[in-house]
């Protein structure tokens, strides 16, 4: 009800059904956002598990031979999970064409991911080619040549996560 002074009365609840109806949090999320969220979760779970396992191998002083097998398993797992989840999402919703907004968001997210990857690569190049800059850092026996591919993969995963998070941010916030 609306009072004469414009102040609304408190609306009474009509039971638990209203509470459950108001808790539909995925209803306002678009198909593209659901797809991006699924990709983000898969990337973080699969590669996060790989990096944690690799860290355990390195800290235990074990040979890095098993890391290659773990990497192949992680990549294959990520591909299979992406195919399954994206196929499921595509079958449950109608396809949407990309408009100018989608293209702009994609360009901005790739720019941020490329920036993240570039900064990481430049730091890596500087660290390996100009060792005098890093003399103040303590020596670490864990940073061996065997870890180079793992650290480069970490840079790529961070860049991919940056792209996905940027896209989600701009889809939610708008441009």
Mean pLDDT by runs of 10 across the 175 residues of the chain is: 54 54 59 91 95 86 79 93 92 80 92 93 78 58 68 91 94 83
pTM: 0.72
| pLDDT score recorded for residue 28 | 74
> 82 near 42, Cβ under 8 Å?
yes
Predicted pLDDT of residue 5 = 56
| Residue 149: predicted pLDDT | 81
Cα–Cα distance list, 61 to 56, 101, 126, 170 (Å): 9, 50, 27, 43
What's residue 167's pLDDT? 93
Tell me, what's the pLDDT at 57?
84
Q: Which residue has the tokens 């638990």?
A: 16
């Amino acid at each position: 009800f609306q009072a004469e002074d414009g102040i609304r009365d408190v609306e009474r609840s009509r039971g638990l059904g209203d509470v459950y109806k108001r808790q539909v949090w995925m209803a306002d999320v678009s198909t593209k956002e659901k797809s991006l969220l699924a990709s983000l979760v898969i990337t973080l779970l699969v590669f996060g598990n790989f990096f944690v396992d690799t860290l355990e191998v390195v800290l235990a002083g074990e040979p890095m031979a098993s890391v290659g097998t773990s990497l192949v398993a992680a990549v294959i797992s990520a591909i299979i999970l992406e195919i399954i989840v994206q196929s499921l999402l595509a079958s449950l919703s109608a396809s949407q064409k990309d408009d100018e907004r989608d293209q702009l968001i994609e360009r901005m997210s790739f720019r941020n991911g490329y920036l993240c990857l570039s900064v990481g690569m430049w730091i890596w190049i500087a660290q390996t080619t100009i060792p005098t800059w890093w003399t103040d850092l303590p020596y670490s026996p864990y940073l061996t040549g065997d870890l180079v591919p793992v650290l480069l993969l970490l840079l790529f995963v961070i860049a991919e996560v940056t792209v996905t998070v940027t896209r989600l941010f701009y889809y939610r916030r708008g441009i």
